């Protein structure tokens, strides 16, 4: 009987590490399906919003299970076919959204349950406690509709804060537009529309010399 038990324990010792190694890959595949640019391009207006909630939940669950969310997200971006600046800017957005969800207390059991189904979690911490966690377009849809379903342009934000935002363009939006253009995620015309929407700050009148 003892040799049988020893053999069984040996098999388990060999199998369990393999399963643990396979888990991050399975998670990465799941996230990759949510951020795949080809799939996102085929979605209707605001179609990527539930996917932002879902991939954020997947990364949070990966972290809770002892996996490195940075590595899972990086592998997912690579599996989705993104490279260079496109991969870098998308990865930054994904990990930023994970941090936002965590900071607002949305990665509790109830929050993750909602987000896994593409629904808004409830903010548990801070001045927006009790609000829904919505998804904001950093560069407004009105200014650059082609960025509607681009992951790098989507950011988690409390609903009331999102609703109070205007469709304005500032330094952050122009800076992001430059990177999106470089990454091939924004057309030349789209970039021109973003820069044209930025208010032109009038120069201060030159002071007259008193000499």
Domain ranges of the chain: 23-118+133-197
- Can you list the pairs that 125-134 forms with residues at least 24 positions away whose Cβ atoms lie under 8 Å? 126/158, 128/104, 128/158, 128/159, 128/160, 128/161, 129/105, 131/158, 131/159, 131/160, 131/161, 132/158, 132/159, 133/53, 133/101, 133/104, 133/106, 133/157, 133/158, 133/159, 134/158, 134/159, 134/162
pLDDT of residue 23: 75
pLDDT at position 196 is 97
CA distance 139 to 61: 29
Instruction: State residue 113's pLDDT score.
Output: 97
Q: What is the pLDDT along the chain (211 residues), one digit of tens a residue?
A: 455 545 544 444 444 333 334 477 899 999 999 999 999 999 999 999 999 999 999 999 999 999 999 999 999 999 999 999 999 999 999 999 999 999 999 999 999 999 999 999 999 999 999 999 999 999 999 999 999 999 999 999 999 999 888 788 999 999 999 999 999 999 999 999 999 999 986 554 555 444 4
Task: Give the HSE-up count for residue 125: Cα atoms under 13 Å, Cβ half-sphere.
Answer: 10
């Amino acid at each position: 009987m003892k040799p049988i038990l020893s053999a069984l324990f040996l098999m388990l010792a060999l199998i369990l590490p393999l399963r643990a190694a396979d888990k991050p890959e399975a998670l990465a595949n799941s996230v990759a399906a949510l951020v795949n640019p080809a799939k996102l391009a085929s979605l209707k207006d605001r179609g990527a919003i539930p996917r932002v909630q879902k991939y954020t939940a997947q990364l949070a669950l990966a972290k809770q299970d002892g996996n490195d969310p940075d590595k899972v997200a990086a592998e997912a971006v690579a599996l989705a076919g993104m490279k260079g600046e496109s991969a870098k800017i998308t990865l930054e957005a994904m990990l930023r959204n994970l941090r936002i969800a965590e900071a607002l207390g949305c990665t509790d059991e109830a929050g993750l349950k909602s987000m896994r189904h593409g629904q808004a979690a409830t903010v548990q911490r801070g001045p927006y406690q009790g609000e829904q966690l919505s998804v904001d377009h950093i560069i407004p849809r009105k200014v650059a509709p082609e960025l509607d379903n681009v992951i790098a342009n989507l950011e988690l934000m409390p609903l009331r804060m999102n609703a109070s935002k205007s469709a304005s363009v500032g330094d952050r939006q122009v800076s992001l537009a430059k990177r999106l253009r470089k990454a091939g995620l924004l057309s030349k015309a789209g970039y021109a529309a973003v820069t044209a929407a930025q208010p032109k700050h009038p120069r201060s009148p030159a002071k007259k010399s008193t000499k």
